[in-house]
Homo-oligomer: A and B are copies of this chain.
């Protein structure tokens, strides 16, 4: 039965680091976001026809935003494996499992480094989207969970919150120079395209529903803005 006490040693250590780190970020990328991604990623993993490694999924989900490039320097984010090694080493001393030796630590670091939408886009553009990216079920569960939290109702709240944390506008009339960085433009530029990059079957099903909410929401903004009486 997952998680065993030996697995829990790693989970607790990762959760502690995540909570400490995310407290410094804005409410669009907070502890609650990561806890939702963790829960969704595990649900997707458990629903998968061939079972991914749950400890890998949970640890990657917990750690996926600790080195988010929006909040740390490129230098800090450059090598997740080196960054997380002390955490995994310390946990290995208190656990009968050693994820450094069995290779899962490296896998987790690689997932963390490849979760983001921007990274996927860049790698695909450079022709560097590999067989591993196509086949790693653990990556797919964490990616889908993270992306699902960026669309739908939570996506709407988080996009508005991130926009506000940058002091950009929420909605801007056509022709205004502030349009480019507004929350609603981010819906157009990124969020409505996320559905097509979901990878697991249950993720795609949840994605359809959340994508529809986004489109309806955008239509409501237009309707409200025109004040049709």
Q: 20 A-B contacts, Cβ less than 8 Å apart? A: A27-B167, A27-B168, A32-B171, A32-B172, A36-B225, A36-B227, A43-B229, A47-B229, A148-B224, A153-B224, A154-B170, A156-B157, A156-B217, A157-B170, A157-B183, A158-B160, A161-B163, A161-B164, A202-B229, A213-B220
Main secondary structure of the interface of A (DSSP, over half): helix
Q: Mark A169-184, 1 if CB is under 8 A from B, else 0.
A: 1111100000000010
| Given contact pairs A27-B164, A32-B169, A152-B224, a sample of 13 additional A-B residue pairs in the complex whose CB atoms are under 8 Å apart | A27-B168, A30-B169, A36-B225, A39-B227, A43-B229, A154-B170, A154-B221, A160-B161, A161-B170, A161-B183, A162-B164, A206-B227, A210-B224
Cβ distance A141 to chain B, nearest Cβ, rounded Å: 12
Q: Count chain A residues whose beta carbon lies closer than 8 angstroms to a beta carbon of B.
A: 45
Produce 1/0 per residue, A113-136, CB < 8 A to B. 000000000000000000000000
Q: Is A26 in contact with B167, judged by CB distance below 8 angstroms?
A: yes
* A162 surroundings in chain B (CB, below 8 A): 164
Q: How far is the CA of A27 from the CA of B181 in the complex (A)?
A: 12
Given A32-B172, A210-B224, are A164 and B154 neighbors across the interface (CB < 8 Å)? no
